[in-house]
Amino acid sequence: MTNVVDASDASDLLTRRAVANMLHISLVTLNKHTRNGLLPAYKIGRRVLYRRGDIVPALDKIARAEAAQYE
C-alpha cells in the first residue's frame, strides 16, 4: 500500500468506515478486498483512506471476483 495521493485529491478521500457503509459491507470484508488488490487504498500517516473515484470501478472487480468463486 504505497500509493501516493496528490493534495488536490484530498477532498475525495474517504475513511474505511465511510467506504464500508457506502458498499454495505463490514470492515473485515473491506480489508479483504484491499488485501486482494480489488480496492486500492492510500495510507496517510496511520490512516487508511480510499479515493471516491476508485470505489465504482472496484465494484465491478469485486463482483467478478465473487462470481468466479461460485463457478
Residue ranges of domains in the chain: 7-69
pLDDT number for residue 32: 94
pLDDT in tens, 11-49: 799 999 999 999 999 999 999 999 999 999 999 999 999
- Mean pLDDT for 65-71 is 79
Q: What is the pTM of this model?
A: 0.75
Class of domain 7-69 (CATH, top level): mainly alpha
pLDDT in tens, 42-59: 999 999 999 999 998 988
Cell of 2: 504505497
25: CB partners within 8 A, 6+ apart: 33
47-51 β-sheet, strand order: 13-15, 47-51, 42-44
